[in-house]
C-alpha cells in the first residue's frame, strides 16, 4: 500500500476487527469457565442486574481482561500495518467507547466501569512500546 491514508484506514479497520475477535474469544472462554448462575435469563433486564451481583470475581476479571487483550491486539495490529501510532490510538478509543457502552447496558461495579476507560488506553501504550523500533511517527 503506497497511499498513507489508505494504509491508515486499513490499519484501523483491521485493528478494530482484530480487537473484536479477541474480545469475543476471551469473553467466550470466560463465559464457558463461569456460566451465568442457574435460573437467570441473560436476556431479561431484571436478571441482567442480578447477574453482576451473583457471578464470581474471576468472571468479572475475565471480562475486563478481554477488553484489555482485545485493545492490545487491535492496537498492535493497527500500529504494525500503519507503522505509526495514530491508528492504534483510534482503535483504542473505539474500544473505550465499546467497553464503556457495555458497562451501561446493565449495572457493573465501579472498578469495571473505570477499567472500561483506562485499560484500552494502557493497551495502546503497551502496543506502542512493542513497536517502538518500527514506528516512523
pTM confidence score: 0.89
| Model pLDDT, residue 36 | 78
Cell 475475565 identifies what position? 62
In whole angstroms, give the CA distance from residue 11 to residue 112: 28
* Per-residue model confidence as pLDDT tens digits over 38-71: 877 777 777 777 888 888 999 999 999 999 999 9
pLDDT exceeds 60 at position 136: no
Q: What's the CA gap between 96 and 92, in Å, rounded?
A: 6
Task: Give SS3 for 55.
Answer: coil
Here the cell at position 23 is 474480545
Q: Using an 8 Å Cβ cutoff, are 6 and 87 in contact?
A: no
Q: How far is 114 from 133, CA to CA, in rounded Å?
A: 31
**Stretch 1-14: mean pLDDT:** 92
Integer CA distances (angstroms), 78 to 17, 45, 49, 64, 135, in order: 10, 36, 35, 21, 12
Buried b (16+ CB within 10 A) or exposed e, 40-64: eeeeeeebbebbbeebeeebbebbb
φ and ψ of 42, to 5 deg: -70, -10
The span from the first CA to the last CA of the chain, in angstroms, equals 17
Amino acid at each position: 500500500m503506497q497511499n498513507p491514508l489508505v494504509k491508515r484506514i486499513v490499519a484501523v479497520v483491521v485493528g478494530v476487527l482484530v480487537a473484536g475477535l479477541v474480545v469475543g474469544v476471551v469473553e467466550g472462554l470466560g463465559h464457558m469457565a463461569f456460566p451465568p448462575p442457574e435460573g437467570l435469563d441473560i436476556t431479561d433486564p431484571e436478571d441482567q442486574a442480578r447477574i453482576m451481583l451473583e457471578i464470581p470475581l474471576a468472571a468479572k476479571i475475565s471480562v475486563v481482561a478481554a477488553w484489555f487483550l482485545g485493545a492490545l491486539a487491535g492496537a498492535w495490529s493497527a500500529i504494525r500495518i500503519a507503522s505509526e501510532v495514530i491508528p492504534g490510538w483510534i482503535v483504542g478509543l473505539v474500544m473505550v467507547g465499546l467497553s464503556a457502552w457495555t458497562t451501561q447496558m446493565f449495572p457493573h461495579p465501579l472498578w469495571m466501569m473505570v477499567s472500561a476507560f483506562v485499560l484500552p488506553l494502557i493497551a495502546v501504550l503497551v502496543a506502542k512500546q512493542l513497536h517502538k523500533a518500527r514506528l516512523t511517527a
